[in-house]
Amino acid sequence: MKKLSLLFLLSIIGTSVYAQSNESLDLEKAIQLGLENNFQIKIAVETITIREGEERIGRGDLFMPRVDATYLRSYSKEDVEQKFINDPEPRQINGANSDNENFSIAAIYGFRPESLIVIKRLGQLTEISELESKVVVENTVAGISSAYYRLVLELQRYDVLQNTLELSQSRLDIAQAQYELGGAGKRDFLTAQVDYNSDLTLLLTQEQVIQNARVNLNELMALQPDEKFTVKDTILIGDPLLLLELEENALMENKNLLIAQRAENVAFLQMKELRASRLPILNLNGNYVNNTFGSDAGFLIQNQRQGFNGGGNITVNLFSGLTLNRRIQNARVQERLQSYETEQFEVQLRSDIHRSYNTYVNNKSLLEVEKKNYQVAKESTEIALERFRLGIASYLEFRDAQVNLLTAENRLITSIFNIKEQEIELRRLSGKIFFQNSSEDFELPSED
């Protein structure tokens, strides 16, 4: 059932899709591919199967007896010499035959009181495996989301560098025209050529960054490294997140916290299991026997038995060298340690949420500043380009405005990406990674 529930969780994400060369790939499709193909998820699902099997084995040992059937057939031929009390003369039998045929069914059932607690403990371990599988799923979704938006960011940076290169090309064309017409020196033209080459180098380097970002995303989706696809050119910012809701959801839904709580239950059950081992053990047995024996020698020529027999016993351990007491003491300490770990993880979880939320809020504030700064830098660059075209501004003034625009654009799109990164992390920590409602999308204003 646990495995089925995880498979159902995967199935509600979406149906099967396959990325093909140059196919449009949105975040939802990327997550679908990752959940279907990721090997860590497949390993986690099989781990649940093992845990469920161990739980069924434990139930079988508790409620079902052991039944063994045995069939024996033996034959012998011997020379026998016998002496009897009432006949002192020895009796010689050559080639005396004897055969024995035995068939039996034996059933044994032993009830140990601690077995009931073992079943509960195995059930908790199965739940832990299911939660660990969900952690793998959530981490996969978070990783794919982050890698997807990282690729979008690098593509946006490529567009920014492309716009910068176009400005450098315009400046180079103007400098070349002025140089050829005698309106400017060769030094201005050569400087414009150097700046253009520098911007071209940045653009070519960014192509490599994009290729690696694609490989990283393909790896998470278990696709070939050279798989090609197009992605959306915007990063979607979700609805505003509230700190109180995030904390409440995390205490109820964070899978790692739930795992720690289940592990605490396991430690408690292990101590109860040891204590229960002091209780009496009940053993029952029953047999059906069908035995036939025949011999040419001896008083008994043939003997046949058939029937049932049964019995039982109760065993109580009176002394085991204080070993059980020591094991119970260790189990009690282990329970306290697990309780401390659960409390420590809860403190860490709250701290992680607060840290990520502070970064999230700060980045949202920075976004408004960066948007205004971008508009100013864009207008300043347009003015500098026109002044340079008219010959009333130096190339240094234009280059400075151009660099400022490049920096402002990069800071703006990076700020958007940072907000999205914190959104993903906060939703992962709160156990709500599958609910990524987007309400606002940001992209750079057009260059028109």
Q: How far apart are CA 333 and CA 327, in angstroms?
A: 10
d(C-alpha 213, C-alpha 149), whole Å: 10
Continuous segment of H or E residues that includes residue 355: helix 323-390
Would you say residue 182 lies in a domain?
Answer: no
Residue 307 lies in a domain: yes
Same domain, 134 and 266: yes
What pLDDT is stored for residue 401 in this prediction?
Answer: 82
How many domains would you assign to the chain? 2
DSSP label at 81? Answer: E
CA distance 17 to 35: 11
Query: Is residue 104 in a domain?
Result: yes
Q: Which of 276, 278, 280, 279 is nearest to 268 (CA)?
A: 276
Taking the C-alpha atoms of residue 402 and residue 385, their distance in angstroms, rounded to an integer, is 9
pLDDT at 382: 82
Range of the domain at 9: 2-64+123-160+200-277+323-442
What local confidence, expressed as pLDDT, does residue 1 receive? 46
Q: Can you read off the two tokens belonging to residue 445? A: 């204003």
- 217 inside domain: yes
Angle at 430 between CA 424 and CA 433, to 5 degrees: 45
Same domain, 368 and 269: yes
Judgement on whether residues 356 and 237 belong to the same structural domain of the protein: yes
Tens digits of residue pLDDT in 310-346: 888 888 878 777 888 888 889 899 889 999 999 999 9
d(C-alpha 105, C-alpha 67), whole Å: 7
Same-domain pairing of 102 and 224: no
Say how far apart CA 423 and CA 429 lie, in whole Å.
10
Which one-letter DSSP state was computed for residue 431?
T
Within a domain: 190 = no
Asked if residue 166 belongs to a domain, the reply is: no
User: Does 288 share its domain with 254?
Assistant: no
Scanning 12-93, the segments in alpha helix (DSSP H) are 27-37, 39-63
Asked if 134 and 254 sit in the same domain, the reply is yes
- pLDDT recorded at residue 214: 92
Under DSSP, is residue 214 helix (H, G, I), strand (E, B) or coil? helix
Give the integer Cα–Cα distance in Å for 374 and 433.
32
β-pair partners for 295: 98
- Residues in the chain, pLDDT under 70: 1-22, 58, 60-62, 79-88, 96, 182-185, 294-302, 393, 435-448
User: Using one digit for the tens of pLDDT, what is the confidence trace for 80-105?
Assistant: 666 666 666 777 777 767 788 888 88
Domain boundary among 267, 296, 315: 315
Q: Tell whether 352 and 416 lie within a shared domain.
A: yes
77 and 58 in a single domain? The answer is no
**What pLDDT does residue 48 have?**
77
Contacts of residue 117, defined as CB under 8 A and 6 or more positions apart, other chains included, come to: 269, 272, 273, 276
Q: Are residues 208 and 235 in the same domain?
A: yes
Which of 315, 342, 361 terminates a domain? The answer is 315
Same-domain check for residues 103 and 235: no
Name the domain boundary from 258, 290, 315.
315
Residue 272 and residue 417 in one domain: yes
- Per-residue pLDDT at 446: 46
- Give the 3-state secondary structure of residue 259: helix
Residue 174 lies in a domain: no
Say if 185 falls within a structural domain. Answer: no
Same domain, 142 and 230: yes
User: CATH number for the domain including 133?
Assistant: 1.20.1600.10
